[in-house]
Amino acid sequence: MKRILAIAAITAAGLTAALASTAASAHVDVGLYLGAPAPVVVAPAYAPAPVYEPAPIYAPAPVYAAPAPVVYYGRDRWEERRRWEAHRRWEERRWDDRRWDDRRWHDDDRRW
């Protein structure tokens, strides 16, 4: 009988707790936390298809060089040389003519 009285007392306490006003009791959640987050299963993210572009065309860098320096050797003397050569030819011609004249003068007496 003691057993039946104990079961009846526990049942009465449970019914009293269940029928008590809900406004008087605070909302309490009881859970078990082990220090690690729960695993979350998410759908894989949509990745767009890769876009392929043509390979870049590489060209050598342009070469920048300074122009050759201008060298000045003085004034051009080709005209003076030309005049001198013409004068020299004229002198040689006169000398040749004179020698020819000298020879002819000597050769006039000779008979071949």
Task: Indicate the DSSP class of residue 40.
Answer: -
Tokens of 21: 């006003």
pTM comes to 0.21
Task: Indicate the DSSP class of residue 37.
Answer: P
What pLDDT is recorded for position 104?
Answer: 56
**Residues across the chain:** 112
Assess whether pLDDT exceeds 70 at residue 7.
yes
55-104 pLDDT, tens digit each: 888 888 888 888 888 887 776 666 676 776 776 666 666 555 555 555 55
The one-letter amino acid at 71: V
What are the structural domain ranges in the chain? Answer: 78-112
Tokens of 76: 């051009």
